[in-house]
Chain A
């Protein structure tokens, strides 16, 4: 009898424990408020989400950084910063969208790629107005415009920009008997008047003289450089999808697509899908000789090739006029429990001094004119790139940018599908350019 009773007692305890467990598990999400805290004396935890390499964290072998978290925590002893780094901006984007949509789980500061800014600018109410916090910061006009709503609210603090040069393997070019010194290559591509025609002409020569080696890494990567020079590429400024029509920008997209796929099929492309394992692994092989080089991409080349790898260099030239690829903003979602502290941190991170520190340690080029003029930036020489004066080169490259492409809400989806179209021709080699173009038009129709 007694034993039965104890057993029953045990069972009841187990049941209660199970219920209690479920209850606490459900209540767990409410904890944020408690450890966030609003009082200035409390310990404040600021959660930051970035991707790729923003250069904010402590430096490692793969990822150079300016160790800014430590610095800020020293300045503000009550603040603790936790950074979550996604490998690619797409990974961060999916999580971010969910958090904003559901109204919970967003980071206190979210780094945002320019390509997904349109979806943020469409719902500015969900983000903190940073105007009052960034009084000490300055940015290039177009950088500020990209994060300012029509009624003057600033939702994003600019971090870096992505002015593009041409990175090249001087050893491979020398072996093929082509100009291998950065000034000679600049001249060969046409200097200030460099065109895509000349770029692909030189590519054809390289393929021939090197015995069939590829000239560039990936069609989709090169197309990023081309499309960022078109003012209205896939979407017109009044919000119409113009892909495949005779609008000026759409015709330019088609012309670029034809030129690029023709070059790829002639053996100029290494046929690597951008950001794939093969792509990453190819930077310390002799698979290809050149790649388009926005400032932040040098971090990737270094990380993939290895700091000790010799051969990579950068030329102060870009076909078809200047180009800006990427560059980011920091936004603070309204749902953040510590939005005031987060806004202060975002303002500090994007201030000129910190932009200088990031460019000195990593390669993300400042969006602030003050930072660009700083001797530490203007005079920076990169040992990995054969002592190239990167500070001066990117200053010239940024000055050469004349077009600010308009990216409407659908731009991201359409551009992704176009990268697929290029990859079908260049990477999987399953379709001809004409077939792939037609399928792209169908894909675009399916998006509507």
Chain B
């Protein structure tokens, strides 16, 4: 559509002499087609992703929001607008009913707290470890590829497989760790009975799988840092540690932001590990010590299918609350990370602007 007003311009520019109308029309249509091609085909090429996203991402998101406002039972389906019920002493149908119900549940808040605790216990040590490992792998090692592949190996293991193996390692009575602790005369740790111990155990499973993955991403970013920056630092008399803190980390800023945000999303959605860790009874254990938000959502939606209860509507409300929380935390994280990295990275910023000026 936009092509037509431009087209006459172009024809006026072309030399007039040969008044072959058919030829002109041919030229015109070829030009049009060419312009159409240039304008539209890039969007066609990238459309598979967006179509896929529409089907698998956006639609479920919106449909979940719809379900969250309804009294929806897994087996019997929709039964009108949501009702909060006994907990908030109201039987008025309202689209907020399921959200009110969820926010009145002590289990939801417990699950949220557990998710945060496990998320912090896994993400922080994991990113620090990944940074250090990446720095080591970045150095001049023999058999580089071997070490780099080795770091990624745990990531190849399916999360549920890692969960099953670790749940046996962390068994209270017959687990390897407690057997060793017992053997050297220490008190065995009650991995499932103590809140902190269960969080540490689950964070260990997460760290086992994801540290290597983050290491490789950080390593790739480190290798992209121009070597002359390090040479300059060496000339200035900076040692290895100083180079790492003042050059490597600031230069990694965008990658660090990416790693931290993906870890945040993954960490708050944690499901497989606590599910496999407490491989019996109610999800999260009898004390709900390791009940996470995703586990709570799943239990609500797919295990408590009692006829007459709007379990799927409530689960959808949890899903949306989790979605909002993840988005908020991700934005906060982004702001904080940018802050931290930019205060220590002041010189690089100068360098960048200097480069820009040079380019001009």
Give the B-binding residues of A (Cβ under 8 A).
Answer: 11-12, 14-15, 18-19, 21-22, 26, 88, 90, 93-94, 97-98, 100-101, 118-119, 122-123, 220, 272-279, 281-282, 287, 409-410, 412-413, 416-417, 419-424, 427-431, 445-448
Contacts and interface: CB of A to CB of B under 8 A. Distances in A.
B174 A281 contact: yes
B91 interface: no
Nearest to B45: A15
A18 B192 CA distance: 47
A273 B287 CA distance: 12
A420 B52 contact: no
Interface in B271-305: 279-282, 285-287, 289, 298, 302-305
Given A97-B305, A119-B75, A19 B285 contact: no
Interface residues of B, number: 47
B328 interface: no
- Specify the main secondary structure of chain B where it touches its partner: loop
A22 B48 contact: yes
The 3 closest A-B pairs by CB, nearest first: A423-B286, A428-B193, A420-B286
Given A98-B74, A446-B105, A26 B55 contact: yes
Contact of B85 (A423, A429, A448): A448
A281 B171 CA distance: 10
A272 B281 CA distance: 11
Interface in B15-51: 41, 44-45, 47-48, 51
A22 to B, nearest CB: 6
Contacts of B229: none
A11 B282 CA distance: 51
B254 interface: no
Contacts of B279: 275-277
Contacts of B75: 97, 100-101, 119, 122-123
A109 B312 CA distance: 25
30 contacts: A11-B45, A15-B41, A15-B48, A88-B280, A90-B303, A94-B298, A97-B74, A97-B305, A98-B74, A100-B75, A118-B307, A119-B306, A122-B307, A123-B76, A220-B281, A274-B280, A274-B281, A275-B280, A277-B167, A277-B175, A278-B173, A282-B174, A287-B173, A409-B306, A420-B281, A423-B281, A427-B286, A428-B193, A428-B287, A431-B287
B308 interface: yes
Task: Tell me if A's interface is mostly helix, strand, loop or mixed.
Answer: helix
B282 A420 contact: yes
Nearest to B284: A420
Contacts, number: 128
Given A22-B48, A277-B167, A428-B192, A93 B286 contact: no
A428 B171 CA distance: 13
Nearest to B303: A94
A430 B193 contact: yes
B281 A419 contact: yes
Contacts of A276: 171, 279-281
Contacts of A101: 73-75, 77, 305, 312
Contacts of A423: 281, 285-286
A446 B105 CA distance: 7
Contacts of B171: 276-278, 281
Interface string B146-186: 00000000000000000000011001111100000000000
A19 B287 contact: no
B78 to A, nearest CB: 11
B302 A278 contact: no
A326 B298 CA distance: 25
B90 to A, nearest CB: 14
A422 B282 CA distance: 12
A97 B306 contact: no
Nearest to A272: B173
B105 A413 contact: no
A442 B190 CA distance: 26
A93 B303 CA distance: 7
Contact of A446 (B44, B77, B107): B107
Contact of B287 (A21, A90, A422, A430): A430
B192 to A, nearest CB: 6
Contacts of B220: none
Contacts of A417: 282
A300 to B, nearest CB: 13
B10 interface: no
Contact of B302 (A98, A273, A413, A419): A98
Contacts of B304: 413, 447
A119 B286 contact: no
Contacts of A409: 306-308
A1 to B, nearest CB: 14
A273 B281 contact: yes
A158 to B, nearest CB: 22
B360 interface: no
A416 B167 contact: no
Contacts of B307: 118-119, 122-123, 409
B86 interface: yes
Contact of B280 (A22, A273, A422, A428): A273
A423 B192 CA distance: 11
A119 B107 CA distance: 24
Contacts of B287: 424, 428, 430-431
Contacts of A445: 86
A15 B44 contact: yes
Interface centre among B45, B48, B107 (most CB of A within 10 A): B48
Contacts of B305: 97, 101, 119
A114 B332 CA distance: 49
B103 interface: no
Nearest to B170: A277
B300 to A, nearest CB: 11
B280 A279 contact: yes
A428 B190 contact: yes
Most B Cβ at <10 Å: residue of A118, A274, A409: A409
A281 B74 contact: no
B87 interface: yes
Nearest to A239: B308
Contacts of A272: 173
Contacts of A11: 45
Contacts of A429: 193
Contacts of B106: 446
Nearest to B305: A97
A90 B303 CA distance: 8
A12 B41 contact: yes
B84 to A, nearest CB: 12
Contacts of A446: 87, 105-107
